[in-house]
């Protein structure tokens, strides 16, 4: 098994904090946004938290429009220095994040900000706008503007930063699969596609005794925007474990937070997700490039000619199929028709990986029924 990763302390998250005299506080924290990264837009968005003495709510991973830090800093400085008609300060609006901040009142003693964040992308349901008023001081707004400016001094990483991660694949992390029983494969429903370069990052995590692997795996993966697939199982002692994977673009555009580092993004997001889970320890970390995945799969009696045109995401899913003892050659042949089991009567989803994993899960459930 690959050695456990070096102890990892998540970096301080860049943030802007707008405090109020009445106990209200609005906080913008940098957060990776998977959809934006794939679409070559700002790959870093914001978590938006609003806390009052009676209420706390967070809107996670909101996308942001270009120039978010600079425009927010400009608004905060204007609000801090303006006296008179509140309409004299141009409202801050971020269309992508559906966030608006304006000056409600302004006098010699302070400023009252009007903060609105809108939720809902369901065309069948009305949008929901949450409104808060923040009475604050001009000095506090100047500090906020400085924090916002610190957001913008970041650009796309030019070099791929291998900082002490170890090359490894999911099967490497599990080391001795015979001592571990695979009990489930989790699919998030999202697929990272395209010709861009991706990094496949796997983490082997031990759950606390008595935890339910399927529930904890879903919980952890739901907090990871780059997680397409995860697997969970139990040791011979029946204690649970989970293998979490993330497929992250090596290069991404961002004007928020820090240089885009896929390894750091994966670690930070994992640590944040594990705060909600019944987790005992992170036992291992593996990093794989497209070439690493190709070399592994080509060693499974599969001609390179069948693999060379696969997207990195498909290669990553095939490496998970190896954990489930699904023959890679069967996937390579079935990928041409979209079916992994042409000789078995079944309702085929016409995607070779969906087909293979669904069939595996059916057989797993059947074996459990036989045990009962």
Q: 248-261, pLDDT tens digit by residue?
A: 998 888 888 666 88
Summarised one tens digit per residue, pLDDT across range 12-36 is 778 899 999 999 999 999 898 888 8
pLDDT at 74 over 70: yes
Summarised one tens digit per residue, pLDDT across range 122-141 is 555 567 889 999 999 999 99
Residue 304 has what pLDDT? 84
pLDDT at 156 over 50: no
Shared-domain flag, residues 196 and 298: yes
Shared-domain flag, residues 92 and 178: no
pLDDT at 163 over 60: no
Residue 103 has what pLDDT? 95
Summarised one tens digit per residue, pLDDT across range 76-121 is 999 999 888 888 899 999 999 999 999 999 988 899 999 999 986 6
Measured over all CA atoms, what is the biggest interatomic distance in the chain, rounded to whole angstroms? 80
Shared-domain flag, residues 243 and 130: no
Domain boundary, last residue among 152, 185, 218: 152
Summarised one tens digit per residue, pLDDT across range 279-315 is 888 888 899 999 999 988 888 778 888 888 889 999 9
Alpha-carbon gap, residue 244 to 34, rounded angstroms: 16
Shared-domain flag, residues 116 and 212: no
Summarised one tens digit per residue, pLDDT across range 336-362 is 888 888 888 888 888 888 888 888 888
Domain boundary, last residue among 152, 182, 205: 152
Residue 160 within any structural domain of the chain: no
Shared-domain flag, residues 203 and 329: yes
Residue 220 has what pLDDT? 92
| Structural domain count of the chain | 2
Q: What is the mean pLDDT of residues 33-51?
A: 86
Domain boundary, last residue among 124, 152, 180: 152
Summarised one tens digit per residue, pLDDT across range 165-207 is 567 888 888 876 557 889 999 998 877 776 678 999 999 999 9
Residue 6 within any structural domain of the chain: no
Residue 133 has what pLDDT? 95
**Mean pLDDT score of the chain:** 84
Shared-domain flag, residues 222 and 318: yes
* Residues 6 or more apart in contact with residue 318 via CB below 8 angstroms: 293, 297, 310, 328, 331, 353
Residue 338 within any structural domain of the chain: yes
pLDDT at 316 over 90: yes
Shared-domain flag, residues 290 and 347: yes
Shared-domain flag, residues 174 and 147: no
Provide the CATH number for the domain around residue 88: 2.30.31
Q: In the structure, what pLDDT confidence band is assigned to residue 40 with cuts at 50, 70 and 90?
A: confident
Give percent above pLDDT 90 in the chain: 40
Residue 10 within any structural domain of the chain: no
pLDDT at 214 over 60: yes
Shared-domain flag, residues 126 and 187: no
pTM of the model: 0.80
Domain of 28, in residue numbers: 15-152
Shared-domain flag, residues 148 and 291: no
**Is the Cβ–Cβ distance between 94 and 66 less than 8 Å?**
no
Shared-domain flag, residues 223 and 366: yes
Residue 10 has what pLDDT? 64
Residue 119 within any structural domain of the chain: yes
Q: In the structure, what pLDDT confidence band is assigned to residue 149 with cuts at 50, 70 and 90?
A: confident
Residue 9 within any structural domain of the chain: no
Residue 158 within any structural domain of the chain: no
Compare 320 and 174 and report the one with higher pLDDT: 320
Residue 164 within any structural domain of the chain: no
Shared-domain flag, residues 145 and 194: no
């Amino acid at each position: 098994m690959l050695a456990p990763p070096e102890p990892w302390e998540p970096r301080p998250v860049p943030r802007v904090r707008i405090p109020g005299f009445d106990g209200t506080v609005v906080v913008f924290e940098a957060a990776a946004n998977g959809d934006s990264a794939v679409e070559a837009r700002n790959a870093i968005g914001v978590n938006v938290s609003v806390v009052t003495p009676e209420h706390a709510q967070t809107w996670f991973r909101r996308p942001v429009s270009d120039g978010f830090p600079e425009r927010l800093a400009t608004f905060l400085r204007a609000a801090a220095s303006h006296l008179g008609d509140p309409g004299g300060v141009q409202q801050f609006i971020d269309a992508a994040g559906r966030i608006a901040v304006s000056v409600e009142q302004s006098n010699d003693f302070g400023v009252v900000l009007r903060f609105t964040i809108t939720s809902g992308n369901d065309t069948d349901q009305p949008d929901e706008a949450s409104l808060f008023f923040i009475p604050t001081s001009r000095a506090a707004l100047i500090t906020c503007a400085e924090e916002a400016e610190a957001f913008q001094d970041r650009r796309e990483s030019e070099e791929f930063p291998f900082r002490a991660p170890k090359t490894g694949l999911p099967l490497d992390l599990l080391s001795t699969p015979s001592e571990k029983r695979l009990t489930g494969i989790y699919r998030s429903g999202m697929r990272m596609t395209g010709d861009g370069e991706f990094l496949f990052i796997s983490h082997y995590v031990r759950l606390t005794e008595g935890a339910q692997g399927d529930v904890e795996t879903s919980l952890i993966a739901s907090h990871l925007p780059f997680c397409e697939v995860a697997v969970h199982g139990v040791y011979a002692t029946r204690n649970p474990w989970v293998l979490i994977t993330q497929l992250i673009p090596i290069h991404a555009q961002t004007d928020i937070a820090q240089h885009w580092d896929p390894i750091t993004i994966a670690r930070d997001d994992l640590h944040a997700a594990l705060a909600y889970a019944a987790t005992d320890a992170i036992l291992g970390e593996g990093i794989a490039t497209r070439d690493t995945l190709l070399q592994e799969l080509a060693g499974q009696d599969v001609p390179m000619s069948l693999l060379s045109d696969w997207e990195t995401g498909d290669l990553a899913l095939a490496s998970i199929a190896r954990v489930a003892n699904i023959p890679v050659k069967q996937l390579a042949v079935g990928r041409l028709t979209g079916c992994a089991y042409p000789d078995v009567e079944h309702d085929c989803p016409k995607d070779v990986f969906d087909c293979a994993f669904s069939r595996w899960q059916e057989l797993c459930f059947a074996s459990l029924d036989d045990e009962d």
